[in-house]
Amino acid sequence: MTVLSETKPPSLLSSKDIPSQERLIFALDVPSIKEAKRLVNDLGDAISFYKIGLELFMSGNYLDFVGWLKKKDKKVFVDLKFFDVPQTVGSAIKQLRQYGASFATIHGNDEIMKAAAEQKGDMKVLAVTMLTSLDDGDVKDLGFKVNIKEIVLSRAKRALEIGCDGVISSGLEAPELRDKLGAKFIIVTPGIRPLKNTDDQKRTVDVEQAFLNGADYIVVGRPIKDHCGFNTPKEAAISIQERIGKLFDAP
């Protein structure tokens, strides 16, 4: 009698040369630069990569704050989801290059993505596929005739062919992206909920599942800022870093 050995699916855990500490990106969604600086100082060496988005942009002195983070040896993810006519987006990306951001997000059609890719320089341009606050019901309401997975795969494929460096994708769609498009491009997964989710994010996964599904980086905001179950944001961040370390740093 022949006994068939159990076969396991290939690992989707990222093999890119990224320090495990940098795989956690903290979403610095606060209303003022003053509060942002206080949080950065409080978090100390627990966080080395920050995402700064529209809320902080509207508070003023956004680009000065990018420079402040860089002087503290932090990496910066500019999450402004540039979306305009192609020439304007290309010009904006070209302007942003001088500030030393590592990542920037763009949204839109092929020509918009192409314009951004042509001007990105050493900065990584990431295409937004589908916001994690949307589910299939929302997509149907918006008039799409296909489901979220099909939209995400289509957008990601086009973005990579055009010259973007990666995509923003829910952890739920990441496995299919890896299967269909390979391992070379960057996947950044937002909407991470280390504990049970109770907010407006609909397509969420936890820390381990995001990476096991193929993410290179995860973005965590409220679970660190609100430090549920922990005494401080730093304690919450360290807890997540320890979970990431067990995945990537274990012998």
Which residues are catalytic, by number? Answer: 81
Token look-up 């606050």 returns 133
